[in-house]
């Protein structure tokens, strides 16, 4: 099947004829990954590539250093670190299902935490000891643990977050994004740090290693993510603030909170089990607050999607059933399952891209309302997202029509005639009406009404 689309690049329409997309429909100029990321071409930005390269080198240096120190013990330490890292990282990614962050940015953030921030911490710790003439002793250990470590480590982990804030600010669509990026960096740092601690504990015997693994890997693996999430949340809040003072002081306040929590935890560990128990309860309480904030933010995001997509009902690209499907993660998953059952992996990919395009379009409107997107860029990205939504609908509502398995609640998309023109932008955001560019209706053979489950007699 071949299909043409008109999309706006700047103010000029560009026509293209598609080839096979996910096995069904594709427009060569409408690249789903590029459109969803806000670019006209897919690819990893140069800044992310440089950061990944530097962080990877730093991680290799760190692991090589401790491999020489620990020998075969290094393998056991690495395995114990991964036992904690994998489920924790999976949990963080589960928070990111509604509006997933770009994979290359998550990789950049994780490698920065595991590589660059660890090496930077080692260098700054050594400089601090040299500058302040710290000698080995109990008082020195307290100063390093309670003051130096929280300040240096939280700053090192947060540098990548500030980089995202400066250069990829549009990726912070809510506090959930701040938590996800912050926790990803912190988990990378914790994984590398655990390797060094486990190697040191193993030198004192297997029992010391076991005790340390229970303390760090089982009872408190969430500490570093909780600390750094303070910075991530405040950066996300500052992104949408129009007050310059708030944009400046909120990130610094978040970083100070991260350092404070980190200092409380480290100081309690040196004061005995009683104080450690109190600190543990404080960290658990903060963790619960973070999860509640993320849940509230998810509900808010769903509400924003519903409000934005309702304005596009007249285009036929969104139906009332689609609004229900987009409202919960469960319904989205059922819709992807249905699309896969009717059109295989091609339909699954098309439904996934459609869901993400709807979400990104809602986020784009929010950024425009907050003054973060120029009118011309808003219209170009909006037009590309609308073209992607049309293309995806044509794919998962393709000519092959099968009875849909009954689900609770049932997902039954309604066929609408394809959009003929790019409509005027909705009431949000107020801006000049875009150039109306006619779109070719897709060349499709006549289709029967889709999704009609058999009636029980």
Query: What is the per-residue pLDDT across 291-326, written as a single tens digit (0 to 9) for each?
Result: 999 999 999 999 999 999 999 999 999 999 999 999
pLDDT surpassing 50 at residue 28: no
Q: How far apart are CA 110 and CA 339, in angstroms?
A: 33
Please write the tens of the pLDDT for every residue from 402-436.
333 333 444 444 444 444 433 344 444 444 444 44
| Bigger pLDDT: 55 vs 203 | 55
- pTM equals 0.81
Q: Are 230 and 258 in contact (CB under 8 A)?
A: yes
Residue whose tokens read 């990282």: 89
Supply the mean pLDDT for the chain.
Answer: 82
> Is 329 in contact with 98 (CB distance < 8 Å)?
yes
Under a CB-based contact definition with an 8 Å cutoff, are residues 347 and 395 in contact?
Answer: yes
Sign, CA dihedral 91-55-125-217, equals positive
Reduced DSSP (H G I as helix, E B as strand, rest coil) percent helix, strand, coil of the chain, to 5: 70, 5, 30
Q: What's the rounded Cα separation, in Å, for the pair 46 and 31?
A: 19
Contact 259, 209 (CB under 8 A): no
pLDDT tens digits for range 177-195: 999 999 999 999 999 999 9
Distance separating the N- and C-terminal Cα atoms of the chain: 37
The predicted-structure confidence for 112-143, as pLDDT tens digits, reads as follows 999 999 999 999 988 887 887 666 665 677 78
Range 265-274 average pLDDT? 86
**Nearest CA to 2 among 16, 14, 13, 384?**
16
* DSSP class of 144: I
């Amino acid at each position: 099947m071949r299909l043409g689309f008109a999309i706006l690049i700047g103010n000029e329409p560009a026509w293209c004829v598609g080839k096979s997309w996910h096995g069904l429909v594709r427009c060569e100029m409408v690249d789903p990954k590029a459109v969803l990321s806000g670019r006209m071409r897919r690819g990893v930005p140069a800044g992310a590539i440089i950061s990944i390269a530097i962080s990877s080198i730093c991680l290799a240096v760190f692991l090589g250093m401790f491999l020489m120190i620990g020998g075969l013990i290094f393998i056991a330490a690495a395995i114990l670190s991964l036992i904690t890292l994998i489920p924790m990282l999976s949990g963080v990614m589960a928070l990111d299902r509604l509006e997933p962050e770009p994979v290359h940015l998550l990789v950049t953030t994780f490698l920065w935490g595991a590589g660059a921030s660890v090496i930077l911490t080692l260098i700054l710790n050594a400089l601090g000891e040299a500058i302040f003439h710290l000698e080995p002793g109990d008082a020195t250990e307290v100063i390093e643990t309670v003051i130096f470590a929280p300040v240096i480590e939280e700053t090192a982990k947060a540098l990548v977050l500030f980089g995202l804030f400066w250069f990829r600010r549009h990726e912070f669509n809510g506090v959930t994004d701040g938590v996800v990026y912050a926790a990803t960096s912190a988990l990378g740092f914790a994984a590398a740090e655990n390797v060094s601690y486990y190697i040191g504990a193993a030198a004192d015997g297997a029992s010391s290693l076991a005790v340390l693994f229970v303390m760090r890997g089982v009872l408190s693996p969430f500490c570093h993510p909780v600390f750094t999430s303070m910075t991530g949340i405040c950066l996300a809040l500052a992104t949408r603030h129009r007050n310059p003072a708030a944009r400046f002081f909120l990130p610094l306040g978040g970083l100070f909170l991260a350092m404070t929590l980190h200092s409380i935890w480290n100081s309690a560990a040196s004061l005995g089990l009683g104080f450690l128990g109190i600190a543990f309860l404080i960290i658990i309480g903060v963790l619960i607050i973070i999860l509640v904030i993320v849940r509230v933010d998810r509900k808010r995001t769903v509400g924003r999607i519903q409000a934005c997509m309702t304005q596009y009902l007249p285009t036929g690209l969104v139906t009332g059933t689609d609004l229900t499907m987009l409202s919960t993660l469960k319904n989205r998953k059922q819709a992807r399952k249905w699309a896969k059952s009717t059109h295989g992996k091609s339909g699954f990919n098309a439904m996934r891209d459609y869901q993400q395009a709807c979400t990104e379009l809602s986020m784009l409107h929010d950024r425009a309302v907050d003054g973060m997107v120029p009118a011309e860029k808003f219209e170009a990205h909006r037009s590309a997202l609308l073209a992607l939504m049309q293309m995806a609908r044509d794919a998962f509502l393709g000519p092959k029509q099968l009875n849909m398995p009954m689900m609770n609640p049932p997902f039954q998309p309604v066929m609408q005639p394809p959009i003929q023109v790019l409509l005027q932008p909705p009431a949000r955001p107020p801006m000049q009406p875009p150039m109306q560019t006619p779109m070719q209706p897709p060349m499709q053979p006549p289709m029967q009404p889709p999704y009609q489950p058999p009636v029980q007699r």
